[in-house]
Structure 1
Amino acid sequence: MQGMSERQYAAHAGVSRGAVQKAKLAGRLVLHSDGSIDAQGSDTRRAALTDPARQRPSLPRPRLKPVPEAAVAAVGETLREQGLSAPAVGSSTTFLQARTANEVLKAQERRLKLQKLKGELVSLDRARILLFRLARQERDAWVNWPGRVAALLAAELGVDAAVMHRALESHVRAHLGELADVRTDFK
């Protein structure tokens, strides 16, 4: 074969094989005696015979956006958490490493969803509500405690019940005031 096949010329010219076949039938290609395509002659003839207004503009190749450093760091961190080799900071991540990290993250996400479905995990908002409810029940129990035990303690100690109630109430309220300063942080 002296020249190119239809497929080879299509790749050379950046067109489809169908476009090469149409150009061949229309006589816009230069052919060798064996039917193969003369690339140089065909390029020249196609340029001369093809109406520029009817040509499609060649689409520019999409430029790949650079991957943010935070994403690369997250991939490395995920790989290290799983005991896998991670790229050094500042070096490029291979596709295989990024894909492995993605699969690890998807597996972790599925595990968390399963734990949530089983009732082993609760949402942070639900945990806050439950903790607040529990703290309020504890506080209410302590606020009501002096009224329940003041008379009993006063009788045991031989003091006035009203004085005992005021003393217990003031100490319990002071203690609850100290506990009110404690803040929970779920981060």
Structure 2
Amino acid sequence: MQGMSERQYAARVGLSRGAIQKAKAAGRLVLHEDGSIDAEASDRLRAETTDPSKTRKAPATKLKPVPDSAVSAVGDTLREQGLAAPTTGGGTTFLQAKTANEVLKAQERRIRLAKLKGELVDRARAETLVFRLAREERDAWVTWPARVAALMAADLSEALEQGGDAASGASKPAVTTALIQRLLETHVRAQLDSLADLRPRLG
């Protein structure tokens, strides 16, 4: 066979075999003596005799509009990295969108790595732990006066007795602001030392 069969030529030009048979019957194909199709000559003849208006065109791909929020997110990501961001209403180029995507992927990998290394904690869990720690400190201060009152009274009595002995039988000294301040400072420091042992339980 000198040329192509109907099936072979149909595959070459992307048409059905029936369409090739119709074109052959209409004299729009060039045939060899053995009836096979001269592909190159038939291509030229078909190009000359085909009406462009009747040529089927592939339907145009309808692209969905990109939401403004997505464009804004691309711009924010690029600006954070000191890169050129799309102007307002100017649209986003493919290169800008691709760059922003690569930046976000790098940030995500860095955050994931930091979590694996234990450098980052879950924000909600951290807030819960801090709230619990603050509540424990508050409870410790709320119950502090009741716990320290008897101790301060004993310290005050002892300080007054020692002051009386030092005065060689003279009347006991009066309670002074300085004395009260000294006792308060002593017990407040003891309370703060105990609060220093409070630690957030991360386990």
* TM-score of the alignment, normalized to the shorter chain, above 0.5: yes
CA contact (8 A) 2:29 2:46 kept: yes
Change (3 A) 1:22 1:139: same
String of CA shifts for 1:106-130, please: whole Å, max 9, x gaps: 1111111111122211112211221
CA RMSD of aligned residues (A): 3.5
**Is structure 2 residue 46 aligned with structure 1 residue 38?**
yes
Residue 125 of structure 1 is matched in structure 2 by: 124
Q: Which amino acid aligns with 1:140?
A: D
Q: Which amino acid aligns with 1:19?
A: L
Aligned residue-pair number:
137
String of CA shifts for 1:63-121, please: whole Å, max 9, x gaps: 21221222111111111111111121111111000000011011111111111122211
CA contact (8 A) 1:32 1:38 kept: no
Residue 134 of structure 2 is matched in structure 1 by: 135
Residue 77 of structure 1 is matched in structure 2 by: 76
Using the size of structure 2 for normalisation, the TM-score is 0.56
CA contact (8 A) 2:23 2:29 kept: no
Q: Which whole-Å CA distance do the structure 1 matches of 2:42 and 2:60 have between them?
A: 33
Q: Which whole-Å CA distance do the structure 1 matches of 2:116 and 2:17 have between them?
A: 59
CA contact (8 A) 1:76 1:87 kept: yes
Residue 65 of structure 1 is matched in structure 2 by: 64
Structure 1, unmatched stretches of 5+, are 1-9, 48-56, 160-167, 169-187
Q: Which whole-Å CA distance do the structure 1 matches of 2:132 and 2:12 have between them?
A: 70
String of CA shifts for 1:135-175, please: whole Å, max 9, x gaps: 1211221123223321121122349xxxxxxxx9xxxxxxx
Identity of aligned residues (%): 57
User: Secondary structure at 2:42's aligned position in 1?
Assistant: coil
Q: Which whole-Å CA distance do the structure 2 matches of 1:16 and 1:103 have between them?
A: 41
**Is structure 2 residue 102 aligned with structure 1 residue 103?**
yes
Q: Which whole-Å CA distance do the structure 1 matches of 2:58 and 2:123 have between them?
A: 49
Residue 23 of structure 1 is matched in structure 2 by: 19
CA contact (8 A) 1:28 1:42 kept: no
Q: Which whole-Å CA distance do the structure 2 matches of 1:114 and 1:147 have between them?
A: 49
Change (3 A) 1:113 1:134: same
